[in-house]
Amino acid sequence: MPPIAMRIAYVGTRYRGYQRQPGGKTVEDQLEKALRETGTIKSLRDAGYSCSGRTDRGSHAICQIVRIETEMDEPGGSWLSMLNFRLPRDIVVLGARVVPETFDPRRDAVLREYTYYQPKLSPLDLDTMRKGAELLIGTHSFHNFSKAERGRCPVRTIYGITIEDLGAALEYRIRAKSFLWKMVRKIVTALHQLGTGRLGLEEVKKMLEPGYTARPGLEPQPPQGLVLTRVEYPDVFIPVDIAAEKRFKKYLFSEVSHGLGLHLALQAMLKKL
pLDDT per residue as tens digits for the range 125-161 = 999 999 999 999 999 999 999 988 877 899 999 999 9
**CATH 3.40.50.1370, domain 4-108, yes or no:** no
Q: With 90 as the cut, is the pLDDT of residue 266 above it?
A: no
pLDDT digits (tens, 9 = 90+) for 61-115: 999 999 999 877 667 779 999 999 999 999 999 999 999 999 999 999 999 999 9
- 169 vs 23, more confident: 169
- Structure confidence at residue 73 (pLDDT): 67
Q: Do the domains at 4-108 and 111-228 have one common CATH topology?
A: yes
- Structure confidence at residue 144 (pLDDT): 96
Whether residue 241 lies in the annotated active site = no
pLDDT digits (tens, 9 = 90+) for 210-253: 989 988 889 999 999 999 999 999 999 999 999 999 999 999 99
Residue 260 confidence class, pLDDT cut points 50, 70, 90:
confident
- 263 vs 53, more confident: 53
Q: With 90 as the cut, is the pLDDT of residue 29 above it?
A: yes
Q: Please pick, among 29, 46, 56, 127, the residue that the annotation labels catalytic.
A: 56
- Structure confidence at residue 273 (pLDDT): 84
- Structure confidence at residue 255 (pLDDT): 92
pLDDT digits (tens, 9 = 90+) for 161-206: 999 999 999 999 999 999 999 999 999 999 999 999 999 999 999 9
- Range 31-56 average pLDDT: 93
- Structure confidence at residue 74 (pLDDT): 67
- Structure confidence at residue 44 (pLDDT): 92
Topology of 111-228 in CATH? Answer: Alpha-Beta Plaits (3.30.70)
- Structure confidence at residue 135 (pLDDT): 98
Calculate what percentage of the chain has a pLDDT beyond 90.
Answer: 81
Distance, CA of 174 to CA of 261 (rounded, Å): 30
- Structure confidence at residue 262 (pLDDT): 85
Q: With 80 as the cut, is the pLDDT of residue 1 above it?
A: no
CA dihedral 15, 11, 80, 50 (to 10 degrees): -60
Domain layout of the chain by residue ranges: 4-108, 111-228
Give this prediction's pTM. Answer: 0.93
- Range 6-24 average pLDDT: 92
